[in-house]
Structure 1
Amino acid sequence: MMIYLFTGVMSFICGLIIFSSKRKHFLLMLLSLEFMIVSLFLNLLIYLSIMNYEYFFSMIFLTMSVCEGALGLSILILMIRTHGNDYIMSFSSLW
């Protein structure tokens, strides 16, 4: 059971490394954030199954992560429509 927990932690760390290294493109940042959320969801499910808790909190977590993904995609679409690309440095109101 610990190998699953280790896999979830390593995937979260890999997503964090990708997030920090691919910070120029907004789409790659969103994809790495979603990867980290999926790995956190895996860790949450493993923890809840080890402790024999109910899985209701995982549904709340999934709902919030879907809302976060929809907001990120709407910002990406707005950014591409106004600026023509997804480079973070060209979006002057962020910096």
Structure 2
Amino acid sequence: MTSHLMIAVVFGLFAGLFSFVMNYSHFLSSLLSLEFLALMVYWWLGLVLTGSGGDLFLNLFYLCVSVCEGSLGLSLLVKSVHSHGSDRMKSYSFMSC
């Protein structure tokens, strides 16, 4: 059963990475892909730590860090839409301050 779950998590990691690479035109879709990758890593950590008898504190810590990462990403999205008027990545000029 655990090997099937591990295969599903690895498939989810590759699917999230593929969606991140293919949907780079919108900032929101990139953030959703990154959150999906964070969720897959959370599940992978849960499987590995449960299977090895390890402490699940690391899993909880990772979940807190990924929630903070998601909230920072959403605040950047709101700020960039406010300043540029769109969430399209092509409208951003990364060379200006």
TM-score band w.r.t. shorter chain: over 0.9
Specify every segment of 5 or more residues in structure 1 that has no aligned partner in the other structure, as ranges: none
User: Which ranges of 4 or more aligned residues in structure 1 deviate by more than 4 Å?
Assistant: none
RMSD: 1.2
Identity fraction in percent? 34
Shift of 1:93: 2.2
Change (3 A) 1:52 1:60: same
TM-score (normalizing by structure 1):
0.96
Change (3 A) 1:53 1:94: farther
Equivalent residue number for residue 72 of structure 1: 73
Specify every segment of 5 or more residues in structure 2 that has no aligned partner in the other structure, as ranges: none
Distance in 2 between the 1:43 and 1:58 partners?
9
Equivalent residue number for residue 10 of structure 1: 11
Superimposed CA distance per residue, residues 25-57 of structure 1 (whole angstroms, 9 cap, x where no aligned partner):
000000000000001100100001110111000
Distance in 2 between the 1:8 and 1:40 partners?
8
TM-score (normalizing by structure 2):
0.94
